[in-house]
Structure 1
């Protein structure tokens, strides 16, 4: 089945322009919006879009300052939330089904807090991680590395300027432990290190600092109240970020959590058929509702 694909640029009220693409029949409502992670990476969820675009149109976009969405100003979590709201207006999507991955789950959650009436359903994939999860994550990531790899990563992180090959090496070292299978994980990380570029490190630092100053943890009571029916959590059982953090979140938000065995932080790569089946059930229910 061949699906129609369209793309374009949408202008924000502060003159930023975001590149977007839609797969499927955009006349159908509601639409699914995929929110990629980072922060500071361009969109990488094309494979996920193709799993569900026959059920509902699927929109993706490069967040400002990444990929084909140039922006050289400051970044804020609030502005990224409004970028999504203004994009929905431009696409003619009054209510959307949100599927966020990694940082995209934080963005989806903050959007729901601000614009709950515009969220028809929500799937949070591999996040958001709340509480004191970073220490466990770093320890597990280091455990999956050799001593030489860990030392090389620290050396590359300490450079004030990196060549193209050094940047690729740094990202590969930083990302290969995200996967359940270390050998295949290295190949995926090396490919992503060349495709998901350039990384907007300034954006990453700015939004990371704001998230620490105003963590989602402090808004969970409000989020629980405004979540749409059918909201779900999904995570890879072998994600180095502690599954216990997602389990705690599921309990606090009274949400079901599905753990994908044999998969890490990008479960659609390691268990594509399992993830595809789960996403299709979720979208069918969301669109039917």
Structure 2
């Protein structure tokens, strides 16, 4: 627990069995309906086993931090992440909603993001059985998603929430200001971030980058969770060791249900 702006933020620290002096550290940021305890298994299996220090956090609006009265606003999650950061070698993995906040720390973090939530005007949501045009903002998300975020932000008035928070959430061209290598992973039928939007966001990244689209998966990536975590941890380890620095690096994979990949493109077969 850390003091933060007259309240508290909470986290669990996971240490490797060996020496921790000068060890790289990863911050694990949960999605909006997750808590820091959700990362216990992943932290120990995929990060501390590789000699990394792992910190699973709850920022403003999440878990114990929200229970203690700390709501999320447009900028305080980024400040909270900043209060966790002190060592010289650190990285961050953001899951779902946490990715937006990890992005604001790009000049200080080597970022691994699981999904991006950058609205791209004109994008549509495409589902099996036909196309369904849908404005791509928080107001168009499934009701539980929006209700969760209203609770996290301490809003009960939906109109005020839309006006005061949602209208100011798009990150626009900030994606182009990221200065560290980036990895995207997303299900092809993600119901919160349409794939077309994620691809448009990815195109705006100018640093060395990599993208993996998982066939037939939705937002939680439940059917491939173990592979996603393992690959992500390995990718972070390689990035911390200085790989992925060549200018113009752009690696794309479409990962099929049977495990084989189509390389060179992240586009699904449709």
Give the TM-score, by structure 1 length: 0.63
- Give the alignment partner of residue 3 of structure 2, picking from 8, 11, 21: 11
**Equivalent pair of 2:124/2:196 in contact (CA under 8 Å):** no
Label 1:105 to 1:73 Cα distance change in 2 as closer, same or farther (>3 A): closer
**Alignment correspondent of 2:150:** 201
In structure 1, what is the Cα distance between the partners aligned to 2:70 and 2:225? 37
Q: What CA deviation, in whole Å up to 9, does each residue of 1:186-215 have, x standing for no partner?
A: xxxxxxxxxxxx956333476875353242
- Does residue 30 of the first structure (1) align with residue 19 of the second (2)? no
Q: Which residue of 1 aligns with 2:237?
A: 284
Work out whether 1:212 is the aligned partner of 2:167. yes
The CA deviation at 1:81 is 0.7
Equivalent-residue separation in structure 2 for 1:32 and 1:80 (angstroms):
17
Alignment length, in residue pairs?
216
Q: 1:60 aligns with which of 53, 56, 59?
A: 56
Determine whether 1:232 maps to 2:178: no
Secondary structure of the residue that 2:75 maps to in structure 1?
Answer: helix
Q: Is the 8 A contact 1:101 1:125 kept in 2?
A: yes
RMSD between superposed Cα atoms in Å: 3.4
**Residue 259 (structure 1) shift:** 1.0
Partner of 2:75: 78
Over 3 Å counting, the alpha-carbon distance change for 1:211 and 1:53 in structure 2 is farther
Instruction: Give unpaired runs (5+ residues) of structure 1.
Output: 1-8, 144-153, 158-170, 176-197
Residue in 2 that maps onto 1:126: 115
Aligned position for 2:254: none
Q: Which residue of 1 aligns with 2:91?
A: 97
User: Whose helix fraction is larger, Structure 1's or Structure 2's?
Assistant: 1
In structure 2, the CA distance between the partners of 1:63 and 1:283, relative to structure 1 (3 Å rule), is: same
CA contact (8 A) 2:72 2:153 kept: no
**Scaled by the length of structure 2, what TM-score is found?**
0.67
Q: 1:48 to 1:132 in 2, by over 3 A?
A: farther
CA contact (8 A) 2:60 2:76 kept: no
Residues 77 and 46 (structure 1 numbering): CA distance in 2 closer, same or farther, change over 3 Å? farther
2:113 and 2:166 map into 1 onto residues whose CA distance is 17
Q: Equivalents in 1 of 2:122, 2:14: separation in Å?
A: 35
